[in-house]
């Protein structure tokens, strides 16, 4: 028996060596596959990555097709002109690994530093696959921050500033918000997201010329006037948040303008 065991030991080692070599070869092949494909060029701009597939079982093909239809019909102005990069998940395992995408359809929003700030997995239970109005709100917040040159550290300071008001009102509080002619800042929504908006003073002056008291201005009217020079997502809840912020800002402007008269 000892002789038989001695004879078979080399075979065991050969089998083990073969298994290790095979595993190493598979890993090498996988790694080579993960490195193929052109690199995404973000050019320092926010981007949307739309992961989808074109092949699969019959149960998911309708979902893939519907996702393509929805994204194709998504107007650039609704997503603040942010580009959408369509990626076939099965063909780009390198990007799937980089962005931790395991299934399709998936929609990712990237900031200017290639960080994922929002992701949503498309589902068949939603007729539109994705909740695009919510995505649009996230895009607007991200693009607004990028356009105003706000870094993450700056945003944290601004959000903690409880007494923040429209620019132009004297304050001793420190703030890293950039100043520009015609640019004002509002706190919008329950989370008091700080949003830069253009020519609000002009909008309010026009309302006063029309002899519109703050209590007489409708939400639709003030949103419509502000939209002429600003992007406001076309979503009821978002519009309501903007309308409330704009109404409050107009009250402050009106009170200052009529003080002492």
The 10s digit of each residue's pLDDT in 93-138 is 999 999 999 999 999 999 888 888 888 889 888 899 998 988 888 8
Q: What long-range pairs does 183-191 form, CB within 8 A, spacing at least 24?
A: 183/148, 184/249, 186/242, 186/245, 186/246, 186/249, 187/245, 188/241, 188/242, 188/245, 189/238, 189/241, 189/245, 190/241, 191/159
The 10s digit of each residue's pLDDT in 50-62 is 999 999 889 899 9
pLDDT confidence of residue 22: 62
pLDDT confidence of residue 198: 81
Residue 5 to residue 173: CA distance in whole angstroms: 83
pLDDT confidence of residue 14: 62
Q: What does the domain layout of the chain look like in residue ranges?
A: 47-131, 148-258
CA distances from 62 to 25, 68, 89 (A): 37, 10, 16
- Average pLDDT of the chain, as a whole number: 77
Residue 134 to residue 140: CA distance in whole angstroms: 10
SS3 195: strand
pLDDT confidence of residue 138: 84
Q: Taking the domain 47-131, which CATH number applies? A: 3.40.30.10
CA distances from 27 to 14, 38, 48, 132 (A): 20, 21, 31, 38
The residue among 119, 103, 120 whose CA lies nearest residue 111 is 119
Would you place residue 193 in the very low, low, confident or very high pLDDT band (cuts 50, 70, 90)?
confident
The residue among 184, 180, 169, 165 whose CA lies nearest residue 230 is 184
Q: Are 131 and 147 in contact (CB under 8 A)?
A: no
């Amino acid at each position: 028996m000892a002789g038989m065991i001695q004879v078979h030991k080399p075979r065991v080692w050969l089998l083990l060596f073969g298994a290790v070599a095979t595993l190493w070869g598979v890993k090498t092949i996988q790694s080579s596959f993960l490195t193929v494909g052109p690199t995404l060029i973000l050019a320092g701009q926010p981007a949307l990555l739309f992961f989808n597939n074109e092949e699969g079982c019959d149960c998911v093909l309708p979902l893939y097709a519907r996702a393509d239809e929805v994204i194709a019909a998504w107007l650039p102005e609704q997503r603040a002109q942010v580009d959408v990069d369509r990626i076939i998940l099965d063909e780009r395992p390198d990007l799937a690994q980089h962005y931790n995408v395991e299934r399709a359809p998936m929609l990712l929003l990237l900031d200017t530093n290639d960080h994922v700030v929002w992701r949503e997995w498309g589902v068949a239970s939603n007729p539109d696959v994705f909740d695009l109005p919510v995505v649009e709100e996230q895009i607007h917040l991200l693009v607004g921050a990028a356009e105003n040159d706000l870094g993450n550290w700056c945003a944290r300071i601004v959000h903690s500033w409880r007494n923040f008001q429209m620019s132009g009102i004297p304050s001793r509080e420190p703030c890293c918000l950039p100043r520009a002619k015609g640019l004002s800042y509002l706190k919008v929504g329950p989370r008091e997201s700080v949003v830069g908006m253009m020519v609000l003073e002009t909008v309010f002056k026009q309302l006063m010329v029309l002899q519109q008291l703050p209590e007489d201005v409708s939400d639709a009217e003030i949103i419509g006037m502000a939209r002429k020079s600003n992007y406001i997502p076309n979503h009821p809840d978002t519009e309501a948040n903007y309308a409330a912020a704009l109404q409050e800002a107009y009250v402050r402007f009106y009170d200052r303008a009529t003080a002492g008269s």
